[in-house]
Amino acid sequence: MAHTFRGCSLALIFIITWLLIKAKIDACKRGDVTVKPSRVILLGSTVNISCSLKPRQGCLHYSRRNKLILYKFDRRINFHHGHSLNSQVTDLPLGTTLFVCKLACINSDEIQICGAEIFVGVAPEQPQNLSCIQKGEQGTVACTWERGRDTHLYTEYTLQLSGPKNLTWQKQCKDTYCDYLDFGINLTPESPESSFTAKVTAVNSLGSSSSFPSTFTFLDIVRPLPPWDIRIKFQKASVSRCTLYWRDEGLVLLNRLRYRPSNSRLWNMVNVTKAKGRHDLLDLKPFTEYEFQISSKLHLYKGSWSDWSESLRAQTPEEEPTGMLDVWYMKRHIDYSRQQISLFWKNLSVSEARGKILHYQVTLQELTGGKAMTQNITGHTSWTTVIPRTGNWAVAVSAANSKGSSLPTRINIMNLCEAGLLAPRQVSANSEGMDNILVTWQPPRKDPSAVQEYVVEWRELHPGGDTQVPLNWLRSPPYNVSALISENIKSYICYEIHVYALSGDQGGCSSILGNSKHKAPLSGPHINAITEEKGSILISWNSIPVQEQMGCLLHYRIYWKERDSNSQPQLCEIPYRVSQNSHPINSLQPRVTYVLWMTALTAAGESSHGNEREFCLQGEDTAALGQAPDRLAHA
C-alpha cells in the first residue's frame, strides 16, 4: 500500500514538472526576455530588460518591419524596430511587477514573445522581542517574535534552541509572514535552573538578520495551565464559613483569586502561597451571586501567571435580615367610634434583606392595657385594619426570610396634624426638571428645636379620595427645610403633598398640591344639573377625569350669557377645591334664558368649554331645570 502511494506521488510530481516546462516553452518559443542584474532587486535599484527574437520568428518579409514593444503590466513603456529591444527601468515599487515583450507586424495582431516578473523588496530587519513559552508542565516550547517591516519577498525563518550538553533543536518556517514556531519538545523540571538559549534568523535573497539571543530556564517559560474543577462550599449553609476549592498542576506554588458580585465591575483580589487547592473567604455578602476566577504560578519571582480559569458563579446563603423597615401610616375616621389605620412600609435594601423576604409580621397593640390585640402575617408592603378611636395604639412591623426576622420597627399611632403650632409654614411645591418636584417649607412657629424629623408624603390626587392610590414618603432631618421628590412622579399628574413635623408623640402638618409638568386641561367640567333656589341658581358639575386635568387645577370658571346674544359672556372664577362640585350664581335676571358653560385652569392655561346648558330663572315659586338639550361648546 505504501509503495503504491509513493509511486503515485512521484508520477504526479513528474507530470506537474513537465507541464511547467511545456508552459515555459510555449510562452517564450518566439524569443527571450532577460533581466540584469537579477529578477530580485533591492528597492530603488535599476534593472536592464532585454527582449530578443529567435531566428525566423519575426515578421515574414523584412526584418525592419519587426516592431518589438515592451509592456509594464498592460501599459506600453518602450518599442524598437528590429530583432532586439533594450530598456532601462527605474523606480519600481515594492512587490512584483510583470513585464511582457510583444511583436507587432503590419496588418496583424500583436504576438506575445516572452515575459518576466521582477521582485522588488528589502532585506529582513532584525527580529525583535523574541519570547518563548511552554503552556503547562506537559506542553511544548513555542516562540514568538516581531518580524519588523514586510520584505515583500519570499523570506525564510529559522528558529534555533540550544540547551545543556550541547543539545540543539531547530525549526524552519517558509511563510513570509511567519512570527510563531513550536519546537514540539517538552522541557521537564528535572533541572529547573538549566539554561536554554533561543535565536531566530530571517533570510531572503537580499540578506539575512538574526535576533538577539533569548536565554531562559524551565521556571522562566513554563506557564501553568489555568486551574480547573473550581467549586465552593458553605459550611452549615453560612456565608461566614466559605471555602473555595480547585485543582492545579503539581508544581504550582502561588495562586491569585479574584471575585466580585455578578452585578459589579470591580474585582476583589487575593494572593495565596502554597494553597494546595483551597482557600477560605471571609468577606462575602449574604444572598449575593458571585463570580470567582483563579490563576496560578510556579515561582514567586520567576515565570508568568497562567490564564484565568473559567468563571464559577455561585450564590451565597441567606442570613438573618439587618436594618429596620421604614414604616408610615394614615388614619381615616369611619364613624364616631371607629377609625381605619393603613400601614405602609418600604422594602429593605438587598444588603439589609440578606435573602428573599418571605413575609412581614405586623403586631398592633393597645398600650393602656398592654395586651397585643392583633398579629398578622402578610406578603404585601401595606396592611389596613379598623380599630376603636379610643385608647393609645402602637404598631410593630418586621421582615422575615428563611434565616430569621429583622428588628421590629415600632411607632405610636397618633393624630399627625393635631398640634397646630408644629405645622410647617409657607409650604411650596415647584417643578424641578422632568418628573421631579422640589418641596420647601419654613419651620413651625413652635420652638424649631423641638422638631425631631420631617416627613414629606405625596400621592396622586383623586377627587374621590381613593384610599387605594399608592402612598409615597421620605424622611428629612430637622435641619432640612426642603426635599426633592422623584419616586413615582409622572408628568401632567397632580399630587397631594403633606409635610409633617414630628416631635415625640405630637405632630403638625401642612399640605399643598404640586406637579412636575403641566399644560392646559384637555376639557372643561361637565354641568350635570342647574336648580333654582330663592332667586338664584345652583350649578352642579362632574369633575374632569384625572387623565384630562394635565396637572393641578387652580380655578374653575362659570360663564353665562343671554341666549342668541352677541355680547361678551359674564364669568365667575372659583378657587379649585378637591371636594367641591357645585356653586351658586345669583346675578341672573328672571324669565331670561341663559346659556351656561364651565372651564378649568392650570398654571399653564385654560381648558376648552365643557358642555353648554340653557336655563331660565322662573321666580321664587318655581324651580326649573333647563329644558333645552345639552349642546357641545365651540372650542
pLDDT in tens, 170-226: 999 987 789 999 999 999 888 788 899 999 999 999 999 999 999 999 999 999 999
CA distance 342 to 333: 12
CA distance 37 to 186: 47
* pLDDT reported for residue 238: 87
Residue 54 in 3-state DSSP?
coil
Co-location of 217 and 231 in the same domain: no
Co-location of 365 and 293 in the same domain: no
Q: Which of 57, 87, 121 is the last residue of a domain?
A: 121
Co-location of 531 and 613 in the same domain: yes
Helix (H) / strand (E) element for 384: namely strand 382-388
Quick one: pLDDT band at residue 102, thresholds 50, 70, 90?
Answer: very high
Quick one: pLDDT band at residue 372, thresholds 50, 70, 90?
Answer: low
Residue 64 lies in a domain: yes
Residue 192 lies in a domain: yes
Burial of 159 (0-12, 13-18, 19+ CB in 10 A): buried
Decide if pLDDT at 9 tops 80: no
Decide if pLDDT at 142 tops 80: yes
Quick one: pLDDT band at residue 273, thresholds 50, 70, 90?
Answer: very high
* pLDDT reported for residue 599: 95
- This prediction has a pTM of 0.68
CA distance 635 to 631: 12
Domains in the chain, number: 6
pLDDT digit string, tens, across residues 148-157: 999 999 999 9
Pairing relation of β-strands 67-72 and 75-81? antiparallel
Out of 8-17, 252-261, 274-283, 605-614, which region has the weakest mean confidence (pLDDT)?
8-17
Best CA proximity match to 468, nearest among 361, 380, 555, 532:
380
**540, β-bridge pairs:** 529, 582
Quick one: pLDDT band at residue 230, thresholds 50, 70, 90?
Answer: very high
Co-location of 553 and 508 in the same domain: no
Residue 564 lies in a domain: yes
Helix (H) / strand (E) element for 510: namely strand 506-514
The CB-side HSE value for 282 (13 A sphere, CA atoms) comes to: 1
* pLDDT reported for residue 619: 67
Best CA proximity match to 168, nearest among 178, 183, 151, 147:
183
Co-location of 52 and 117 in the same domain: yes
CA distance 562 to 568: 10
Pairing relation of β-strands 222-223 and 128-135? parallel
* pLDDT reported for residue 61: 58
C-alpha cell recorded at residue 388: 376603636
pLDDT digit string, tens, across residues 556-588: 999 999 998 888 999 999 998 877 889 999 888
Q: Nearest 5 degrees, angle CA 178-CA 179-CA 184? A: 95
Give me the torsion for CA of 401, 405, 406, 407, rounded to 10°.
170
Decide if pLDDT at 468 tops 60: yes
Out of 22-26, 242-246, 476-480, which region has the weakest mean confidence (pLDDT)?
22-26
C-alpha cell recorded at residue 516: 412636575
pLDDT digit string, tens, across residues 275-303: 999 999 988 999 999 999 999 999 998 99
Co-location of 430 and 392 in the same domain: no
Co-location of 111 and 47 in the same domain: yes
Residue 271 lies in a domain: yes
* pLDDT reported for residue 626: 40
Strands of 283-381 (E only): list them: 289-297, 312-315, 327-333, 338-345, 359-366, 371-378
* pLDDT reported for residue 181: 94
Decide if pLDDT at 635 tops 50: no
Co-location of 199 and 254 in the same domain: no
Query: What is residue 63's DSSP assignment?
Result: G
Quick one: pLDDT band at residue 237, thresholds 50, 70, 90?
Answer: confident
pLDDT digit string, tens, across residues 46-94: 999 999 988 888 886 555 678 888 999 999 999 888 888 999 999 999 9
pLDDT digit string, tens, across residues 389-408: 888 899 999 999 999 999 99
Please report, for residues 46, 59, 120, 444, 486, the alpha-carbon distance to residue 208 in angstroms, rounded to integers and kept in the order given.
22, 47, 16, 92, 73
Please name the residues in contact with 34: beta carbons below 8 A apart, sequence gap of 6 or more: 49, 50, 52, 116
Please name the residues in contact with 273: beta carbons below 8 A apart, sequence gap of 6 or more: 253, 254, 255, 300
Which residue is it, cell 381605619? 340
Co-location of 92 and 169 in the same domain: no
Going across the sheet that includes 228-234, the strands are 228-234, 242-247, 278-281
C-alpha cell recorded at residue 77: 513603456
* pLDDT reported for residue 17: 39
CATH number, domain of 368, equals 2.60.40.10
* pLDDT reported for residue 6: 37
Decide if pLDDT at 447 tops 90: no
Please report, for residues 121, 235, 293, 347, 588, the alpha-carbon distance to residue 313 in angstroms, rounded to integers and kept in the order given.
54, 18, 9, 26, 80
Please name the residues in contact with 484: beta carbons below 8 A apart, sequence gap of 6 or more: 432, 436, 437, 438, 439
Out of 30-39, 232-241, 619-628, which region has the weakest mean confidence (pLDDT)?
619-628
* pLDDT reported for residue 36: 94
Please report, for residues 34, 90, 119, 122, the alpha-carbon distance to residue 44 in angstroms, rounded to integers and kept in the order given.
19, 7, 12, 10
Residue 633 lies in a domain: no
C-alpha cell recorded at residue 449: 428645636
CA Rg value for the chain: 48
> Helix H segments across 500-559?
546-549
Co-location of 498 and 571 in the same domain: no
Residue 499 in 3-state DSSP?
strand
Burial of 357 (0-12, 13-18, 19+ CB in 10 A): buried
* pLDDT reported for residue 63: 58
The DSSP result for 166-225, as a single string, is: G-EEEEEE--TT--EEE------TTSTT--EEEEEEEEETTEEEEPPPEEE-HHHHEEPP
* pLDDT reported for residue 11: 42
Decide if pLDDT at 632 tops 80: no
User: What is the chain's length?
Assistant: 635
Residue 176 lies in a domain: yes
Query: What is residue 38's DSSP assignment?
Result: -
* pLDDT reported for residue 21: 39
Q: Which of 345, 378, 413 is the last residue of a domain?
A: 413
Residue 519 lies in a domain: no
Q: Which of 206, 222, 238 is the last residue of a domain?
A: 222
Residue 112 lies in a domain: yes
CA distance 296 to 258: 12
Terminal-residue alpha carbon distance, the chain: 101
Identify whether 448 is preceded by a cis peptide bond (ω within 30 of 0): no
| Span 596-604, average pLDDT | 94
| Span 243-263, average pLDDT | 94
CA distance 560 to 419: 44
Co-location of 536 and 490 in the same domain: no
Co-location of 298 and 267 in the same domain: yes
Strands of 193-305 (E only): list them: 196-204, 207-210, 214-216, 222-223, 228-234, 242-247, 254-261, 268-273, 278-281, 289-297
Strands of 37-139 (E only): list them: 40-42, 47-53, 67-72, 75-81, 84-89, 95-104, 111-121, 128-135
351: phi then psi, degrees, rounded to nearest 5:
-70, -25
Decide if pLDDT at 465 tops 90: no
Quick one: pLDDT band at residue 466, thresholds 50, 70, 90?
Answer: low
| Span 83-106, average pLDDT | 92
214 and 131 in contact (C-beta within 8 Å)?
Answer: yes
Q: What residues make up the domain containing 199?
A: 128-222
Decide if pLDDT at 22 tops 70: no
Share of the chain above pLDDT 90, in %: 68
Quick one: pLDDT band at residue 379, thresholds 50, 70, 90?
Answer: very high
